[in-house]
Amino acid sequence: MKTILNTALALMFSVAAMTVVTHSNAESFSSQHEQVKKLFQSNEEKTAKDAVWTAQDIFKVGVIDDGTRRDGYAEYVCQVLYDYGFKGKKVWVQIIDIIKLTRNDDWVKLGEAHCQ
């Protein structure tokens, strides 16, 4: 059941994200961008339910809201980005409530970090 829910949420997040990207001139992203996105879309990252780049320097990760601020998780995402060569790229990480996004198309930010 959890896998089906996660799959449905990921699909909804991807559709919403694709809509945003399509409307914003459909930027192309590097293989590093794609590798990080796939990592946060995988089962390797348990907290993340989906992820999307909405610009070269904006990375959004969808999670289920547990009522806490997710700034610490966003800082963790920065550390992962550094491992993939994004140190010095000044990426803005936003942690998004995936339930509100999928139900209401509402990009509610639960946390953020400005990676250096």
pLDDT at res. 19:
43
- pTM for this model (two decimals): 0.79
pLDDT at res. 13:
53
Query: Which residues touch 33 (CB under 8 Å, ≥6 apart)?
Result: 53, 56
The span from the CA of 79 to the CA of 116, in Å, is: 10
Query: Is the model more confident about 13 or about 90?
Result: 90
AA letter at 115:
C
The span from the CA of 85 to the CA of 83, in Å, is: 6
